Chains A and B, each alone.
Chain A
Amino acid sequence: MTYGVDAALCYASLLDMLGLWERLLRRAAVPVAYSQGYNPHQRLQFGSPLPVGYSSECEPLDVFLAERMAPLLFARAVVRQSPAGLTIAQVLEVPLRGPALQSTMRAAHYRVRICAGEGEEQVRAALNHLLGRAFIVRARTKKRRAVDYDLRRLINDIRHTSSHGHWHELHMDLACGMGGSGRPEEIIDELGLTVTQYSIHRCRLIWSKGQESR
């Protein structure tokens, strides 16, 4: 399944989305498979977590069913129970023994809108400067320790696509998967512009070769 999240739901965390989907699927009365053990839970597999505050039109979710169900019927049942802010873009049957979602993701495309004090030329110049850097060293906190990483390595491409007054739209192609994920807000921070507001929308996920049909 591929689903979208808009402004009404973009503040839900991954844990929140997990709970939301569990309840949605139960309301939809689709035959979800459950894990074994003392605390059985629905067998769901998400892709790379969508950070809080991002909207998206391409979030993947694998749902394991206890019995086969036509994708169209599944889609209808789920759409009927979907809360505000959630849209179902695509439902298709995938092989039971396919690779885990996270292991096949390679990159993500983002449409980023920033409101900055600078004009179009300065924004373009800042972008070019950023892309011209060999390394962009930043720190992330992992298990309560600050860990350095190279953000430049996670940038595939960034283009300025349009400007309207103080608002500028950028298209970012960033690594996303097991090897590390680039975060648009970190790139915004590195641009060095006076950004007062921004919005981030994940518009496409890029998969490993052979998994493109997702």
Chain B
Amino acid sequence: MQVSVTSLQRLLARVSKPARYAGQEWNSIVKDWDDAQVTFALAFPDAYEIGMSNLGLMILYELVNQRKDLVAERVYAPWVDMEEAMRAAGIPLFSLETRHALREFDVVGFSLQHELNYSNVLNMLDLGGIPVLAHERGPQMPLVIAGGSCAYNPEPMADFFDLFVIGEGEEVLVELLECVRDCRAGSRSRTARSRRDLLLHLARIPGVYVPSLYRTLYNDDGTLSVLEPLIGEVPGRVRKRIVPRLLPPPTKPVVPTTRVVHDRGMVEIQRGCTRGCRFCQAGMIYRPVRERPVAETVQAVGELIASTGYSEVGLVSLSSSDHSGITEIVSQVTTRHGPDGVSVSLPSLRTDSFSVGLAQMIQTTRRTGLTFAPEAGSQRLRDAINKGTSEDDLLQATGAAFDAGWNRIKLYFMIGLPTETDEDVAEIARLIREIRAQGRAIRGRGVRLNVSVATFVPKPHTPFQWVPLASRATIEHRQALLRRGVRGRGIHLSWSDWDSTWLEAVLARGDRRLGPAIRRAWQAGARFDAWNEHFRPDLWQQAFQEEGIAPSFFTARERGQEEVLPWDHIDAGITRQFLWEEYQRALAGVPSPDCRADCRGCGILRAFAQERARVADGEWGCP
């Protein structure tokens, strides 16, 4: 079924920001379904403005659509007014390119980037006419799959997905779609048995986890006893997939007609990070580090500007200033494109590798925002979390920024970290005041610091995966300490809302027993939980209560070294032993060096020896 233009226009006349449902954006790819052997809906479970800024989706969209036999189209979560209008009019959720209803696709793939999007997943499935529970989907229903960082703990969402793709999707997604094509070509009709057979075939693809082929057993104390395969054909642990070398980046991304969160082109210059910050899941799960060569990056930036017309290009990575050729990249890009009014932004800057030269190059065309993430106020705590930067590094970086002309700087900090004390938090306030004083001495009273203080949420596959979430009382006490410590002009302080932190913590390290509660919360009306104006913690509290789940079991417990964790069957390539050792070093306040300088044997090289053999020496950040 395709939603008619007339029906769509009737809806759009009544909703806010209608342009986000109109499609037909510049560079969008519309293909003939008659030529396609597999149709794939790339679903992002948040509003259009957020999803269109997601680089992962752009990569997969362009990659899949390069194939003549495959079609990839986009679907985003409709805003609440559009959902209401669609349900009232009986219009199903549809793709932007051809307005096909979601249930018409062969495969629907969700990008799970944030736990607070889970209720939107269910809502989109329901709006798309697809049963939310995987076991209720008949043979004519699409395969519903997920990938992204949250797939590294797939269990809370296991009831809703037919399978998860673990790791980087560029190769495995195409393998998966080809398998769907081949299996369906072999059978004349879609039956319940053929759907089961298809899942069995897909489960054999490395990096694919089919939860229905595994079972969970629990101990009397509620901890997980075992999560094991039900059949011999699937592995006990599913290892993530990586690409040995970054594929060429997308250079013709869809350009939104309406404003989105990041209105700029993006080129991924590096994947992975060698710094080993202990709180950071991305730094662990995206290993190993692979740099994009300077020449390829510069060429891609040029093609991107020519095909989109963007006035700003972001050089994206977990730690942009760690790229060995960053100065050369920025220099070439600003020289070639600066005269045309194009500026460069570096979203993730480390204070210890930021330089005056880099600052001056960035601001020659137009000054974009500068953000630094010291994370902790005291050196003791920065060492414990392995942030690896000093106060001198930070002040040197902010000084360089002020000298180069920046008046506004954004700073990210965290509270609720393991071993943290009130004194550590007081140090955050002192540091902020010091930077403000520094800025005023250089730039005058117009200096403004935007300080964001997040509450630390322990994540799977990190050295802090065993750590409890700090209590509400502790967090609110420390937030109050900070507010008292940074009064005055020139500082805008923002902090995390407790309820969203709490829910994120439950879902991040939950297990399969959370599925019924997630469904109940959605049925009660949970939507857009990542948006303050729509988040209803009461719905979630009630859902947990009705399902007999104590959320504190997942948030407030310190987990033991030997406890079976709900994500142990997902292999991120990092050994549990390495993570535990890093945890112990954190408790002792001992930092670990950058692994480019000194390999600590995290496990990546052993896990991906074959992939490593396919690249030249020096292409990875590993020694």
Contacts and interface: CB of A to CB of B under 8 A. Distances in A.
A42 B24 CA distance: 25
Tell me what chain A mostly uses at the interface: helix, strand, loop, or mixed.
loop
Interface in B1-41: 5, 9-10, 12-13, 18-19, 21-22, 24-26
A15 to B, nearest CB: 6
B311 A13 contact: no
Interface string A138-167: 000000000000000000000000000000
Contacts of A47: none
B10 A26 contact: no
Contacts of B367: 38-39
Contacts of B21: 11
A53 B17 CA distance: 10
Contact of A24 (B19, B309, B342): B309
A22 B18 contact: no
Contacts of B308: 23, 27
Contacts of A7: 5, 9
A40 interface: yes
Which of under 10, 10 to 19, 20 to 34, or 35 or more describes the interface residues of B? 20 to 34
A141 B21 CA distance: 27
Interface in B264-302: none
A195 to B, nearest CB: 11
Nearest to A84: B24
B12 A11 contact: yes
Contacts of B307: 27
B18 A52 contact: yes
Contacts of A8: 22, 24
B259 interface: yes
A39 B309 contact: no
A16 B10 contact: no
A13 B26 contact: no
B524 interface: no
Nearest to A9: B257
A12 B19 contact: yes
Contacts of A38: 366-367
Contacts of A11: 12, 18-19, 21-22, 257-258
B263 interface: yes
A27 B258 contact: no
A34 interface: yes
B82 to A, nearest CB: 12
Contacts of A81: 309
Contacts of B340: 26
B220 to A, nearest CB: 58
A75 interface: no
B203 to A, nearest CB: 41
A129 B10 CA distance: 28
Interface string A13-48: 101100110111111010000100011111000000
A83 B10 CA distance: 23
Given A7-B9, A16-B19, A23 B341 contact: no
Given A12-B258, A34-B341, A38-B367, A53 B13 contact: yes
B306 interface: yes
A141 B436 CA distance: 40
Contacts of B9: 7, 199
B259 A53 contact: no
Nearest to B22: A11
Contacts of B330: none
B259 A26 contact: no
B259 A19 contact: yes
B259 A16 contact: yes
B310 interface: yes
Highest count of chain B CB atoms <10 Å: which of A15, A19, A22: A19
B341 A16 contact: no
A83 B24 contact: yes
Interface in A189-214: 197, 199
A71 interface: no
B382 to A, nearest CB: 34
A84 B19 CA distance: 13
Contacts of B333: none
Contacts of A24: 309
Interface string A45-74: 000000011000000000000000000000
22 contacts: A9-B24, A11-B18, A11-B258, A13-B258, A19-B259, A22-B309, A23-B308, A23-B309, A23-B311, A27-B308, A34-B341, A38-B366, A40-B341, A40-B365, A40-B366, A41-B341, A42-B341, A53-B13, A53-B18, A83-B24, A83-B26, A85-B24
Given A19-B259, A34-B341, 12 more contacts: A11-B12, A11-B21, A11-B22, A13-B258, A16-B19, A16-B257, A20-B257, A22-B309, A23-B311, A27-B307, A39-B367, A83-B255
Interface of A: 7-9, 11-13, 15-16, 19-20, 22-27, 29, 34, 38-42, 52-53, 81, 83-85, 197, 199
